[in-house]
Amino acid sequence: MLKNLIIPKFKNNSKEPKRLWLDLGDLGDLVNPAGPHEQWQDHGMGLLRTILHQNGLMTDMFSTRQCTSWEEVERRMKGYDMLIMNVRSYTYPIAYRAAKIFKRINPHGIVLTGGMHATVALDEMLSVPEFDKICQGPGENVIVNLVANPDAFPRVVLGIGAKSMAEWPMIDRTLWPEPASAKLKARFNWPLEPECGWGPPPVATILTSRVCPWQCAFCNENSYIPNMGRRPVDMVIEELNYLDETYGPIGSVVIHDSMFFQNPSWLEEWLDKYPKYANKTWPYWAAARADTVRQWPELFEALVRKTNWHIVSIGFESGSDRVLKILNKECTEEDNYFAIDLLTRIGDDMEAKGLEPPIFWSNIMLGIPGETREDAFKTMRMLKYTKRIMPSISFYAPYPGSALGHQLIAEGKSLMTKENYHRYPDDEKVKGIDYNFYRDLLSGKYDDEINRGLATIRQQRSNYWDALAKA
Protein backbone atom coordinates (compact mmCIF):
# COMPACT_ATOMS: atom_id res chain seq x y z
CA MET A 1 0.00 0.00 0.00
CA LEU A 2 1.19 3.51 -0.69
CA LYS A 3 2.70 5.49 2.12
CA ASN A 4 0.68 8.49 1.10
CA LEU A 5 -2.50 6.68 2.06
CA ILE A 6 -1.62 7.03 5.73
CA ILE A 7 -2.94 10.29 7.04
CA PRO A 8 -1.41 11.45 10.32
CA LYS A 9 -3.99 12.27 12.96
CA PHE A 10 -3.69 15.61 14.69
CA LYS A 11 -5.73 16.72 17.65
CA ASN A 12 -7.57 19.93 17.10
CA ASN A 13 -5.99 22.57 19.29
CA SER A 14 -8.70 24.67 20.90
CA LYS A 15 -6.54 27.78 20.42
CA GLU A 16 -6.48 27.18 16.71
CA PRO A 17 -8.90 29.28 14.68
CA LYS A 18 -12.11 27.53 13.76
CA ARG A 19 -11.90 26.92 10.05
CA LEU A 20 -14.79 26.02 7.81
CA TRP A 21 -14.47 24.67 4.28
CA LEU A 22 -17.71 25.35 2.47
CA ASP A 23 -18.39 22.99 -0.43
CA LEU A 24 -20.35 24.90 -3.07
CA GLY A 25 -23.31 23.91 -5.18
CA ASP A 26 -26.99 24.64 -5.51
CA LEU A 27 -29.10 24.28 -2.41
CA GLY A 28 -30.58 20.83 -2.05
CA ASP A 29 -28.40 19.05 -4.62
CA LEU A 30 -27.32 16.54 -1.97
CA VAL A 31 -30.85 16.27 -0.58
CA ASN A 32 -33.10 15.83 -3.60
CA PRO A 33 -31.00 16.17 -6.77
CA ALA A 34 -32.51 16.68 -10.22
CA GLY A 35 -29.67 14.98 -12.09
CA PRO A 36 -26.46 13.02 -11.61
CA HIS A 37 -23.77 15.57 -12.37
CA GLU A 38 -24.72 17.93 -9.54
CA GLN A 39 -23.91 15.11 -7.11
CA TRP A 40 -20.30 14.81 -8.22
CA GLN A 41 -17.65 15.58 -5.68
CA ASP A 42 -15.04 18.33 -5.85
CA HIS A 43 -11.58 16.81 -6.37
CA GLY A 44 -9.91 20.18 -5.76
CA MET A 45 -11.54 20.48 -2.36
CA GLY A 46 -10.79 16.84 -1.55
CA LEU A 47 -7.12 17.24 -2.42
CA LEU A 48 -6.61 20.53 -0.60
CA ARG A 49 -8.44 19.44 2.57
CA THR A 50 -6.39 16.24 2.57
CA ILE A 51 -3.20 18.31 2.36
CA LEU A 52 -4.36 20.64 5.14
CA HIS A 53 -5.32 17.79 7.45
CA GLN A 54 -2.07 15.95 6.80
CA ASN A 55 -0.30 19.11 7.89
CA GLY A 56 -2.32 19.44 11.07
CA LEU A 57 -4.56 22.25 9.85
CA MET A 58 -7.99 20.83 10.56
CA THR A 59 -11.12 22.15 8.88
CA ASP A 60 -14.79 21.51 9.44
CA MET A 61 -16.85 21.22 6.31
CA PHE A 62 -20.39 21.26 5.10
CA SER A 63 -21.92 21.81 1.70
CA THR A 64 -24.50 24.29 0.53
CA ARG A 65 -25.75 21.25 -1.41
CA GLN A 66 -26.65 19.62 1.93
CA CYS A 67 -28.83 22.59 2.93
CA THR A 68 -32.29 23.46 1.70
CA SER A 69 -32.32 27.13 2.69
CA TRP A 70 -29.91 30.00 3.18
CA GLU A 71 -31.09 30.22 6.80
CA GLU A 72 -29.67 26.74 7.30
CA VAL A 73 -26.39 27.77 5.66
CA GLU A 74 -26.21 30.79 7.96
CA ARG A 75 -26.92 28.74 11.07
CA ARG A 76 -24.15 26.27 10.21
CA MET A 77 -21.59 28.99 9.38
CA LYS A 78 -21.93 30.81 12.70
CA GLY A 79 -18.93 30.90 15.03
CA TYR A 80 -16.15 30.27 12.53
CA ASP A 81 -12.98 32.34 12.18
CA MET A 82 -12.16 31.36 8.62
CA LEU A 83 -14.18 30.43 5.56
CA ILE A 84 -12.45 28.62 2.68
CA MET A 85 -14.10 28.13 -0.72
CA ASN A 86 -13.09 26.64 -4.09
CA VAL A 87 -15.02 28.84 -6.55
CA ARG A 88 -15.99 27.80 -10.06
CA SER A 89 -17.89 30.07 -12.46
CA TYR A 90 -21.14 28.21 -11.98
CA THR A 91 -20.83 28.36 -8.17
CA TYR A 92 -19.73 32.01 -8.06
CA PRO A 93 -23.15 33.43 -7.04
CA ILE A 94 -23.30 30.92 -4.19
CA ALA A 95 -19.78 31.80 -3.03
CA TYR A 96 -20.66 35.49 -3.20
CA ARG A 97 -23.78 35.08 -1.08
CA ALA A 98 -22.06 32.76 1.39
CA ALA A 99 -19.22 35.26 1.87
CA LYS A 100 -21.68 38.08 2.56
CA ILE A 101 -23.53 35.99 5.16
CA PHE A 102 -20.27 34.79 6.74
CA LYS A 103 -18.97 38.33 7.19
CA ARG A 104 -22.27 39.52 8.65
CA ILE A 105 -22.47 36.81 11.28
CA ASN A 106 -18.69 36.47 11.86
CA PRO A 107 -17.49 40.07 11.41
CA HIS A 108 -13.92 39.27 12.47
CA GLY A 109 -13.73 36.19 10.28
CA ILE A 110 -11.59 35.93 7.15
CA VAL A 111 -12.69 34.58 3.77
CA LEU A 112 -10.16 32.66 1.64
CA THR A 113 -11.09 31.87 -1.94
CA GLY A 114 -9.47 30.14 -4.88
CA GLY A 115 -10.45 28.01 -7.83
CA MET A 116 -11.01 28.39 -11.55
CA HIS A 117 -13.24 31.47 -11.29
CA ALA A 118 -10.62 33.29 -9.23
CA THR A 119 -8.17 32.36 -11.98
CA VAL A 120 -10.15 33.42 -15.06
CA ALA A 121 -12.31 36.23 -13.62
CA LEU A 122 -10.11 37.96 -11.05
CA ASP A 123 -11.68 41.39 -11.66
CA GLU A 124 -15.06 40.06 -10.66
CA MET A 125 -13.68 38.52 -7.47
CA LEU A 126 -11.69 41.66 -6.61
CA SER A 127 -14.83 43.78 -6.69
CA VAL A 128 -16.25 41.84 -3.73
CA PRO A 129 -14.70 43.15 -0.50
CA GLU A 130 -15.84 40.08 1.45
CA PHE A 131 -13.25 37.98 -0.40
CA ASP A 132 -10.22 38.74 1.81
CA LYS A 133 -7.76 36.50 -0.05
CA ILE A 134 -8.03 35.31 -3.62
CA CYS A 135 -5.69 32.54 -4.76
CA GLN A 136 -5.19 32.23 -8.51
CA GLY A 137 -4.04 29.03 -10.15
CA PRO A 138 -3.13 25.76 -8.46
CA GLY A 139 -3.16 25.89 -4.68
CA GLU A 140 -1.63 22.64 -3.49
CA ASN A 141 1.78 24.08 -2.58
CA VAL A 142 0.56 27.30 -1.06
CA ILE A 143 -2.59 26.39 0.86
CA VAL A 144 -0.89 25.24 4.05
CA ASN A 145 0.98 28.51 4.53
CA LEU A 146 -1.99 30.58 3.37
CA VAL A 147 -4.39 28.96 5.82
CA ALA A 148 -1.86 28.93 8.66
CA ASN A 149 -0.87 32.56 8.24
CA PRO A 150 -3.16 34.47 5.87
CA ASP A 151 -1.96 37.88 7.09
CA ALA A 152 1.45 37.19 5.56
CA PHE A 153 -0.07 37.18 2.07
CA PRO A 154 -1.35 39.98 -0.18
CA ARG A 155 -5.02 39.97 -1.18
CA VAL A 156 -4.25 38.28 -4.49
CA VAL A 157 -2.06 35.22 -4.11
CA LEU A 158 -0.42 33.43 -7.00
CA GLY A 159 -0.87 29.73 -6.39
CA ILE A 160 1.97 27.23 -6.57
CA GLY A 161 1.27 23.86 -8.10
CA ALA A 162 3.06 20.56 -7.81
CA LYS A 163 5.51 19.67 -10.56
CA SER A 164 3.96 16.25 -10.81
CA MET A 165 0.72 14.64 -9.71
CA ALA A 166 2.94 12.00 -8.11
CA GLU A 167 3.47 14.57 -5.34
CA TRP A 168 -0.25 14.68 -4.57
CA PRO A 169 -1.46 12.62 -1.65
CA MET A 170 -4.34 10.31 -2.26
CA ILE A 171 -7.56 12.20 -1.56
CA ASP A 172 -9.20 11.21 1.70
CA ARG A 173 -12.70 10.86 0.24
CA THR A 174 -14.33 10.86 3.66
CA LEU A 175 -13.54 14.59 3.63
CA TRP A 176 -16.17 14.98 0.89
CA PRO A 177 -19.73 15.94 1.85
CA GLU A 178 -22.21 13.15 2.47
CA PRO A 179 -25.65 12.92 0.89
CA ALA A 180 -28.11 14.60 3.22
CA SER A 181 -31.29 12.59 2.84
CA ALA A 182 -32.07 8.97 3.57
CA LYS A 183 -33.37 8.48 0.03
CA LEU A 184 -30.15 9.77 -1.55
CA LYS A 185 -27.90 7.96 0.94
CA ALA A 186 -29.44 4.67 -0.13
CA ARG A 187 -28.17 5.01 -3.70
CA PHE A 188 -25.20 7.37 -3.42
CA ASN A 189 -22.47 4.93 -2.33
CA TRP A 190 -20.59 7.66 -0.43
CA PRO A 191 -17.63 8.23 -0.33
CA LEU A 192 -17.73 6.71 -3.80
CA GLU A 193 -20.19 8.38 -6.15
CA PRO A 194 -23.55 7.54 -7.72
CA GLU A 195 -23.97 6.32 -11.27
CA CYS A 196 -24.65 8.88 -13.99
CA GLY A 197 -25.48 6.68 -16.98
CA TRP A 198 -21.88 5.98 -17.97
CA GLY A 199 -21.36 2.73 -16.09
CA PRO A 200 -22.63 0.69 -13.16
CA PRO A 201 -22.49 2.05 -9.62
CA PRO A 202 -20.68 2.64 -7.34
CA VAL A 203 -18.56 5.03 -9.40
CA ALA A 204 -14.98 5.97 -8.54
CA THR A 205 -13.97 9.28 -10.11
CA ILE A 206 -10.27 9.88 -10.50
CA LEU A 207 -7.70 12.15 -12.13
CA THR A 208 -4.63 10.82 -13.94
CA SER A 209 -3.58 14.03 -15.70
CA ARG A 210 -4.21 17.72 -15.40
CA VAL A 211 -4.86 20.25 -18.14
CA CYS A 212 -5.49 19.62 -21.83
CA PRO A 213 -2.46 21.00 -23.72
CA TRP A 214 -4.40 22.06 -26.83
CA GLN A 215 -5.49 25.66 -27.35
CA CYS A 216 -9.10 25.53 -28.47
CA ALA A 217 -10.53 29.03 -28.79
CA PHE A 218 -13.51 28.21 -26.58
CA CYS A 219 -11.51 26.87 -23.64
CA ASN A 220 -7.79 27.65 -23.23
CA GLU A 221 -7.47 26.05 -19.80
CA ASN A 222 -3.76 25.55 -20.29
CA SER A 223 -3.29 29.32 -20.43
CA TYR A 224 -4.11 29.35 -16.72
CA ILE A 225 -2.91 26.09 -15.21
CA PRO A 226 0.71 25.06 -15.77
CA ASN A 227 1.46 21.60 -17.07
CA MET A 228 2.45 19.02 -14.52
CA GLY A 229 3.63 15.44 -14.65
CA ARG A 230 0.98 12.78 -14.96
CA ARG A 231 0.10 10.59 -12.00
CA PRO A 232 2.07 7.35 -12.29
CA VAL A 233 0.05 4.39 -13.53
CA ASP A 234 0.94 2.36 -10.43
CA MET A 235 -0.47 5.06 -8.14
CA VAL A 236 -3.71 5.26 -10.13
CA ILE A 237 -4.23 1.50 -9.97
CA GLU A 238 -3.29 1.31 -6.28
CA GLU A 239 -5.79 4.06 -5.50
CA LEU A 240 -8.56 2.28 -7.40
CA ASN A 241 -7.77 -1.01 -5.65
CA TYR A 242 -7.75 0.78 -2.28
CA LEU A 243 -11.14 2.36 -3.01
CA ASP A 244 -12.50 -0.99 -4.18
CA GLU A 245 -11.34 -2.79 -1.05
CA THR A 246 -12.25 -0.03 1.39
CA TYR A 247 -15.50 1.36 0.04
CA GLY A 248 -16.42 -0.84 -2.90
CA PRO A 249 -16.90 -3.00 -4.73
CA ILE A 250 -16.44 -0.40 -7.47
CA GLY A 251 -18.83 -0.74 -10.42
CA SER A 252 -17.21 1.65 -12.88
CA VAL A 253 -14.67 4.44 -13.11
CA VAL A 254 -14.85 7.99 -14.44
CA ILE A 255 -11.44 9.40 -15.36
CA HIS A 256 -12.09 13.12 -15.05
CA ASP A 257 -8.98 14.20 -17.02
CA SER A 258 -9.57 16.96 -19.53
CA MET A 259 -7.58 14.80 -21.94
CA PHE A 260 -6.93 11.15 -21.05
CA PHE A 261 -5.71 10.00 -24.49
CA GLN A 262 -2.32 11.78 -24.49
CA ASN A 263 1.24 10.73 -23.61
CA PRO A 264 1.45 7.40 -25.50
CA SER A 265 4.12 6.01 -23.17
CA TRP A 266 1.83 6.49 -20.15
CA LEU A 267 -1.09 5.00 -22.09
CA GLU A 268 0.99 1.95 -23.08
CA GLU A 269 1.87 1.38 -19.44
CA TRP A 270 -1.83 1.74 -18.52
CA LEU A 271 -2.68 -0.76 -21.26
CA ASP A 272 -0.20 -3.22 -19.82
CA LYS A 273 -0.87 -2.79 -16.11
CA TYR A 274 -4.57 -1.92 -15.65
CA PRO A 275 -5.87 -5.31 -16.83
CA LYS A 276 -3.14 -7.11 -14.88
CA TYR A 277 -3.07 -5.33 -11.55
CA ALA A 278 -6.45 -3.68 -11.01
CA ASN A 279 -8.76 -5.80 -8.84
CA LYS A 280 -11.10 -5.81 -11.83
CA THR A 281 -10.89 -4.20 -15.27
CA TRP A 282 -13.71 -1.81 -14.44
CA PRO A 283 -15.35 -0.12 -17.42
CA TYR A 284 -14.47 3.54 -17.56
CA TRP A 285 -15.30 6.91 -19.10
CA ALA A 286 -12.38 8.97 -20.39
CA ALA A 287 -11.71 11.70 -22.95
CA ALA A 288 -9.84 11.65 -26.26
CA ARG A 289 -9.46 13.81 -29.37
CA ALA A 290 -10.33 12.73 -32.89
CA ASP A 291 -6.90 13.73 -34.26
CA THR A 292 -4.97 11.70 -31.69
CA VAL A 293 -7.21 8.70 -32.29
CA ARG A 294 -6.26 9.02 -35.96
CA GLN A 295 -2.62 9.47 -35.01
CA TRP A 296 -2.46 6.40 -32.73
CA PRO A 297 -5.31 4.13 -33.91
CA GLU A 298 -3.70 0.87 -32.78
CA LEU A 299 -3.14 2.20 -29.28
CA PHE A 300 -6.71 3.52 -29.16
CA GLU A 301 -8.16 0.21 -30.29
CA ALA A 302 -6.08 -1.76 -27.81
CA LEU A 303 -7.18 0.51 -24.96
CA VAL A 304 -10.84 0.20 -25.89
CA ARG A 305 -10.69 -3.58 -26.21
CA LYS A 306 -8.29 -4.53 -23.41
CA THR A 307 -8.86 -1.91 -20.72
CA ASN A 308 -12.67 -1.70 -20.99
CA TRP A 309 -12.67 1.95 -22.11
CA HIS A 310 -16.41 1.79 -22.51
CA ILE A 311 -17.45 5.43 -22.88
CA VAL A 312 -15.13 7.40 -25.15
CA SER A 313 -15.68 11.12 -24.68
CA ILE A 314 -14.65 13.11 -27.72
CA GLY A 315 -15.45 16.75 -28.23
CA PHE A 316 -16.17 16.55 -31.93
CA GLU A 317 -17.70 20.02 -31.55
CA SER A 318 -18.55 20.37 -35.26
CA GLY A 319 -18.82 18.36 -38.45
CA SER A 320 -17.46 21.21 -40.54
CA ASP A 321 -13.83 22.06 -41.27
CA ARG A 322 -14.71 25.77 -41.45
CA VAL A 323 -16.07 25.78 -37.92
CA LEU A 324 -13.33 23.54 -36.54
CA LYS A 325 -10.86 26.16 -37.80
CA ILE A 326 -12.82 28.99 -36.13
CA LEU A 327 -12.59 27.02 -32.90
CA ASN A 328 -8.87 26.35 -33.41
CA LYS A 329 -9.71 22.73 -32.64
CA GLU A 330 -6.82 21.43 -34.75
CA CYS A 331 -9.04 18.52 -35.81
CA THR A 332 -10.65 18.02 -39.20
CA GLU A 333 -13.88 16.52 -40.46
CA GLU A 334 -11.80 13.59 -41.65
CA ASP A 335 -10.31 13.12 -38.16
CA ASN A 336 -13.82 13.04 -36.71
CA TYR A 337 -15.11 10.52 -39.23
CA PHE A 338 -12.00 8.40 -38.84
CA ALA A 339 -12.57 8.17 -35.06
CA ILE A 340 -16.27 7.46 -35.57
CA ASP A 341 -15.61 4.71 -38.12
CA LEU A 342 -12.93 3.14 -35.98
CA LEU A 343 -15.08 2.96 -32.84
CA THR A 344 -18.04 1.70 -34.89
CA ARG A 345 -15.90 -1.09 -36.35
CA ILE A 346 -14.58 -2.04 -32.91
CA GLY A 347 -18.12 -1.90 -31.50
CA ASP A 348 -19.58 -4.06 -34.26
CA ASP A 349 -16.87 -6.64 -33.76
CA MET A 350 -17.34 -6.70 -29.98
CA GLU A 351 -21.10 -6.94 -30.37
CA ALA A 352 -20.69 -9.87 -32.75
CA LYS A 353 -18.68 -11.58 -30.01
CA GLY A 354 -21.41 -11.00 -27.46
CA LEU A 355 -19.58 -8.12 -25.76
CA GLU A 356 -21.02 -4.73 -24.91
CA PRO A 357 -19.85 -2.26 -27.56
CA PRO A 358 -18.12 1.01 -26.63
CA ILE A 359 -20.06 4.25 -27.03
CA PHE A 360 -19.12 7.85 -27.76
CA TRP A 361 -20.04 10.59 -25.33
CA SER A 362 -19.65 13.62 -27.52
CA ASN A 363 -19.76 17.33 -26.93
CA ILE A 364 -21.22 19.18 -29.90
CA MET A 365 -21.47 22.94 -30.32
CA LEU A 366 -23.96 24.87 -32.40
CA GLY A 367 -24.46 28.60 -32.84
CA ILE A 368 -20.78 29.35 -33.28
CA PRO A 369 -20.09 32.80 -34.78
CA GLY A 370 -19.32 32.32 -38.47
CA GLU A 371 -21.18 29.01 -38.71
CA THR A 372 -23.44 28.74 -41.76
CA ARG A 373 -26.58 26.66 -42.04
CA GLU A 374 -24.72 24.13 -44.18
CA ASP A 375 -22.03 23.87 -41.45
CA ALA A 376 -24.75 23.08 -38.93
CA PHE A 377 -26.32 20.50 -41.28
CA LYS A 378 -22.91 18.84 -41.59
CA THR A 379 -22.64 18.63 -37.80
CA MET A 380 -26.10 17.08 -37.51
CA ARG A 381 -25.27 14.68 -40.34
CA MET A 382 -22.14 13.59 -38.49
CA LEU A 383 -24.24 12.91 -35.40
CA LYS A 384 -26.80 10.91 -37.37
CA TYR A 385 -24.02 8.97 -39.06
CA THR A 386 -22.56 7.87 -35.73
CA LYS A 387 -23.93 4.49 -34.72
CA ARG A 388 -23.37 4.57 -30.96
CA ILE A 389 -23.32 8.00 -29.42
CA MET A 390 -24.57 9.95 -26.43
CA PRO A 391 -24.51 13.50 -27.79
CA SER A 392 -24.17 16.46 -25.49
CA ILE A 393 -25.27 19.39 -27.64
CA SER A 394 -25.06 22.99 -26.53
CA PHE A 395 -25.00 26.47 -28.01
CA TYR A 396 -21.60 28.12 -28.03
CA ALA A 397 -21.01 30.29 -24.94
CA PRO A 398 -18.38 33.08 -24.98
CA TYR A 399 -16.82 32.49 -21.60
CA PRO A 400 -14.35 34.95 -20.16
CA GLY A 401 -10.92 33.39 -20.10
CA SER A 402 -11.15 31.84 -23.57
CA ALA A 403 -9.66 33.47 -26.68
CA LEU A 404 -12.91 33.53 -28.66
CA GLY A 405 -14.84 34.60 -25.56
CA HIS A 406 -12.44 37.51 -24.98
CA GLN A 407 -12.83 38.60 -28.58
CA LEU A 408 -16.63 38.50 -28.60
CA ILE A 409 -16.87 40.25 -25.24
CA ALA A 410 -14.50 42.98 -26.51
CA GLU A 411 -16.58 43.37 -29.67
CA GLY A 412 -19.74 43.74 -27.58
CA LYS A 413 -21.27 40.62 -29.12
CA SER A 414 -21.63 38.54 -25.97
CA LEU A 415 -25.11 38.35 -24.45
CA MET A 416 -23.67 36.77 -21.32
CA THR A 417 -23.06 39.15 -18.46
CA LYS A 418 -21.50 38.98 -15.04
CA GLU A 419 -25.02 38.85 -13.67
CA ASN A 420 -26.20 35.91 -15.71
CA TYR A 421 -23.42 33.88 -17.27
CA HIS A 422 -23.15 31.52 -14.36
CA ARG A 423 -26.74 30.40 -14.61
CA TYR A 424 -27.23 29.87 -18.35
CA PRO A 425 -30.66 31.49 -18.20
CA ASP A 426 -31.22 31.27 -21.92
CA ASP A 427 -29.85 29.70 -25.05
CA GLU A 428 -29.03 33.03 -26.59
CA LYS A 429 -25.47 33.89 -25.76
CA VAL A 430 -24.11 35.74 -28.82
CA LYS A 431 -25.58 38.65 -30.77
CA GLY A 432 -26.33 38.01 -34.42
CA ILE A 433 -26.89 34.27 -34.15
CA ASP A 434 -30.17 32.99 -35.60
CA TYR A 435 -31.19 30.90 -32.62
CA ASN A 436 -34.63 30.21 -34.05
CA PHE A 437 -32.92 28.34 -36.88
CA TYR A 438 -31.00 26.21 -34.37
CA ARG A 439 -34.12 25.48 -32.33
CA ASP A 440 -35.85 24.34 -35.52
CA LEU A 441 -32.79 22.28 -36.40
CA LEU A 442 -32.84 20.50 -33.05
CA SER A 443 -36.58 19.95 -33.21
CA GLY A 444 -36.14 18.08 -36.50
CA LYS A 445 -37.50 20.64 -38.98
CA TYR A 446 -34.49 20.25 -41.27
CA ASP A 447 -34.23 16.48 -41.02
CA ASP A 448 -35.03 16.00 -44.71
CA GLU A 449 -32.14 18.28 -45.65
CA ILE A 450 -29.82 16.50 -43.21
CA ASN A 451 -30.88 13.04 -44.30
CA ARG A 452 -30.40 13.89 -48.00
CA GLY A 453 -26.67 14.31 -47.50
CA LEU A 454 -26.38 11.36 -45.16
CA ALA A 455 -26.65 8.68 -47.81
CA THR A 456 -23.82 10.29 -49.76
CA ILE A 457 -21.58 10.35 -46.69
CA ARG A 458 -22.36 6.71 -45.91
CA GLN A 459 -21.40 5.79 -49.46
CA GLN A 460 -18.23 7.88 -49.35
CA ARG A 461 -17.18 6.41 -46.00
CA SER A 462 -17.91 2.91 -47.21
CA ASN A 463 -15.68 3.49 -50.23
CA TYR A 464 -13.01 4.95 -47.96
CA TRP A 465 -12.97 1.88 -45.75
CA ASP A 466 -12.98 -0.43 -48.75
CA ALA A 467 -9.96 1.42 -50.12
CA LEU A 468 -8.18 1.24 -46.77
CA ALA A 469 -8.91 -2.46 -46.47
CA LYS A 470 -7.54 -3.09 -49.95
CA ALA A 471 -4.45 -1.03 -49.17
CB of 427 to other proteins, least distance (A): 7
37 binds other proteins (CB under 8 A): yes
Report the residue number, 18 or 97, with the smaller CB distance to other proteins.
97
437 binds other proteins (CB under 8 A): no
Alpha carbons 204 and 284: distance in angstroms, whole number: 9
The stretch near other proteins (CB under 8 A) out of 41-49, 243-251, 315-323, 420-428 is 420-428
The stretch near other proteins (CB under 8 A) out of 92-100, 131-139, 222-230, 308-316 is 92-100
List helix spans (H) across 134-181: 143-148
Report the residue number, 37 or 155, with the smaller CB distance to other proteins.
37
What is the maximum alpha-carbon separation in the chain? 77
Q: What is the DSSP letter of 67?
A: -
Report the residue number, 409 or 442, with the smaller CB distance to other proteins.
442
Phi/psi at 410 (nearest 5 deg)?
-65, -35
Residue among 182, 185, 192, 233 nearest 209 (CA): 233
CB of 366 to other proteins, least distance (A): 10
Report the residue number, 14 or 443, with the smaller CB distance to other proteins.
443
CB of 393 to other proteins, least distance (A): 5
- Binds other proteins (CB under 8 A): choice among 16, 26, 268, 269: 26
Alpha carbons 421 and 416: distance in angstroms, whole number: 5
440 binds other proteins (CB under 8 A): yes
Q: Let me know: does 308 contact 254? Beta carbons within 8 Å.
A: no
424 binds other proteins (CB under 8 A): yes
Binding residues among 377-416 for other proteins as defined by CB under 8 A: 390-394
* SS3 at position 148: helix
299 binds other proteins (CB under 8 A): no
> Which residue(s) pair with 287 in the sheet?
313
CB of 434 to other proteins, least distance (A): 12
Q: Let me know: does 109 contact 81? Beta carbons within 8 Å.
A: yes
CB of 265 to other proteins, least distance (A): 33
State which amino acid sits at residue 3.
Answer: K
178 binds other proteins (CB under 8 A): no
> Which residue(s) pair with 317 in the sheet?
364
List helix spans (H) across 248-316: 264-277, 290-295, 297-306
Q: Let me know: does 269 contact 233? Beta carbons within 8 Å.
A: yes
- Binds other proteins (CB under 8 A): choice among 128, 299, 442, 457: 442
Contact set with other proteins (CB under 8 A): 26-28, 34-35, 37-38, 67-70, 90, 93-94, 97, 390-394, 423-425, 427, 436, 439-440, 442-445
